[in-house]
Amino acid sequence: MRTHDLIGIGVGPFNLGLACLAEPLDDLDAVFLEARDDFSWHPGMLLDDATLQVPFMADLVTLADPTSPYSYLNFLKDVGRLYSFYIRESFFPLRREYDDYCRWAAERLTSIRWGQPVTRVEHDGEAYVVTSATGEAWRGRRLVLGTGTAPRLPFEVEGPALHSADYLARKADLLSTGSITVVGSGQSAAEVYADLLAEQEAHGFELTWLTRSPRFFPMEYTKLTLEMTSPEWTSYFQALPGATRSRVQAGQQALSKGISSETINAIFDELYRREALGGVDTTLLTATEVRSAQWDGERYTLDLHHTEQDVDGRMTTESLVLATGYASSVPEFLAPVRDRLRLDEQGRYAADGSFSVSHTDDVFVQNGEEHTHGFVAPDLGMGALRSSVILAGVLGREPYRVEKRIAFQEFGMPDRFRSPSEQPAEQLARSTS
């Protein structure tokens, strides 16, 4: 059996970017396995007018290699839309465009094996053996886990409730019901609500939006804040104690789970138009947590709790859309090699600075390290940097130069400001010599 240098498991945007960056490297033999038959990126949320929340430079490769043939700009040139994009004067591509771009890149790679759902990973003493449901097997010295995240449900739900990940596939069913409730705080919840609001007058359903956040808050997008999507911030965050990391993350909702100002303003403008023309038939409720959802065969009964007033409530709705985010997990197919992995007390990947999650530094993770590396882990702009670091760890050299410092600001107390008792030993020795 051929032994590859690297086997990637899962082909979402992050491992696809890694595959693009690996393709031209003559000293790297890599193969990528994907359960689906082709590339698909959040198909349930590919709304016609939805855009990315990151600029086009956060594509698969540009922040690692601006000259790569797999860049978003090269995609636009190839399909004859580069000048249109230039004239449009917006850094933010449509989400459908980004999906088309990823498909375009995937079709040009020779290293991806589609239709290969991995069922088992073993180690034969020298290399990993990866087996798929088709019975085929691959052998590799290193693994890169890009298995993505799964829809997160914060409470037990039965009946026909759907996660926003499946919104478009089941939108027609929603529109045929008499009442729809959207639960969630971020961009997906806002986009689903806005899309349903546009359909409400034609279909006549009741529409409610519930969020446990204290307000419909916008994504924080100022330039000094954006410096936190940097190698320095990731290193700083990773060095914090676990309890401190959790506390810091809890205060960063506006950095990763907010709503674009454009979407918030568009919703308000539509509500204002409705009010001016005769009335608004919709409910928006903040600081409201859904405790449970019971289905009786016709409708849901939601048990609610207002977190600021500390009072309980109840409502009914025929349809329920949960825009409650995603969560990563360690796949069951890794059970035979679980003892080789570094996991924390909660069973999550304990990724180090090189994104390795194994005791022997031969297994890496993509977008499974938010608890160790911070809110930028799922950010598309993180992909090229993370892939560059992983490739450097695999090859022992930097095929793509990793920028170690990009921010004007400093994170943490600089050594020069620390009291002598808290300065690193080597720094103290230099200052007293």
**Percentage above 70 pLDDT, the chain:** 97
Q: For 220-257, how does the pLDDT look when each residue is reduced to its tens digit (9 = 90+)?
A: 888 998 888 888 888 899 889 888 988 888 777 767 77
More confident residue, 425 or 313: 313
User: Per-residue pLDDT for 2 more than 90?
Assistant: yes
Contact 142, 363 (CB under 8 A): yes
Tell me the mean pLDDT in the region 92-109: 97
* pTM of this structure: 0.92
Q: Is domain 152-219+258-323 given the CATH code 3.50.50.60 in the classification?
A: yes
pLDDT at 268: 96
Contact 20, 12 (CB under 8 A): no
Extents of the domains making up the chain: 3-149+328-395, 152-219+258-323
Q: Is 294 exposed, middle or buried (0-12, 13-18, 19+ CB in 10 A)?
A: middle
User: Per-residue pLDDT for 427 more than 60?
Assistant: no
Q: Which CATH class is domain 3-149+328-395?
A: alpha beta
Distance from CA of residue 240 to its chain's centroid? 22
pLDDT at 433: 42
In which order are the strands placed within the sheet that holds 30-33?
Answer: 112-113, 30-33, 6-9, 143-145, 363-365
For 234, phi and psi rounded to 5 degrees? -60, -45
For 145, phi and psi rounded to 5 degrees? -90, 110
Tokens read off for 186: 């971020």
Q: For 54-83, how does the pLDDT look when each residue is reduced to its tens digit (9 = 90+)?
A: 999 999 999 999 999 999 999 999 999 999
Burial 148-167 (b: 16+ CB within 10 A, else e): bbebeeeeebebebbbbbeb
Q: Which residue reads 């570094």 in tokens?
A: 342
- Do 3-149+328-395 and 152-219+258-323 fold alike per CATH? yes
Q: Which of 274-283, 331-340, 393-402 has the lowest mean pLDDT?
A: 274-283
User: Per-residue pLDDT for 325 more than 60?
Assistant: yes
